[in-house]
Amino acid sequence: MQLSGLALGATMLPLSATGVQAKKPNAVFNLDFSDPADAADNTATSAGWVVDRRAPEAWTTDEGRLCIDIDETAETSGFYAYQGKKYQDADGTYWYAGTGSRLSYRFYIDPAWETDGEPHESGVWPVLGNASGSISAYPILAYQDSDASDTGEAQFRAYVYESDEDGNFVTDKWIDLGIPKKLGIDPEEGGWVDIEAQLQSFRDGAALKWRINNKLVVDERGYNVFAPSTQFLEFIVNSINFGNDATYYYDDFMLSTPGNARNT
């Protein structure tokens, strides 16, 4: 169900269709947040969430969505300005999902962000690993409202690593993506957007293809950093604390492995 571009009144809660992605073959996990357990902490016997840098004030289910309430009293600069959690298998172990795997999720753009005069930024950080299971890189896709963006316009941005023709690390940087017209997104109207990260084979490792509303926005063919990346290990949802009261919504957080995931 496509809800992108849906304008919502200020008194209405953003609704996301729960159960849109029913259980499918090769779904490693499939969180529709209709069950409070989908937002629960990791335990020795169950998959769950682990604090990454700084814990948000609240991390709960709300009408079938993941609701993240930022602690505006915490740090607003440096490493701990990011508040979030990472999703891991039972006992804090990695998922080890190889090339061809796909992470998909939904993110809510609140139209109030464009008129409240306060900055907002939130995004997902897939953690990649090499063949031995060591972390190799942290690609990111984040959304910024116009107050958070350096361009003064709401946008998506991607954190990428550049390599030379031999696959050796050169640099890492943020790339401003804007909001391409093909996505059909109006920040002033807001609504739910569908996002997907596909781990594709490349050279001796892998690269990511990021899609928004089923449109390709980033193809990291030059991605091969520190050690060849070959698999997804874990997934972090991080938001920046700007010192203002902020709430972010996510939904339908699913990891699928090859066979169910297209390899295109």
Answer whether residue 18 shows pLDDT above 90.
no
Confidence band, pLDDT 50/70/90 cuts, at residue 38? very high
- C-alpha to C-alpha distances, 241 to 72, 81, 190, nearest whole angstrom: 6, 5, 21
- With 0-12 / 13-18 / 19 or more C-beta atoms within 10 angstroms meaning exposed / middle / buried, residue 264 is exposed
The region, left, alpha or beta by phi > 0 then psi within -120 to 50, assigned to residue 95 is alpha
* 3 state DSSP class of 32: coil
How do residues 53-88 score in pLDDT, each as one tens digit?
A: 999 999 999 999 999 999 999 999 999 999 999 999
**What's the one-letter identity of residue 187?**
P
On average, the pLDDT of the chain sits at 88
Instruction: Specify the pTM.
Output: 0.89
How do residues 102-133 score in pLDDT, each as one tens digit?
A: 999 999 999 999 999 999 999 999 999 989 99
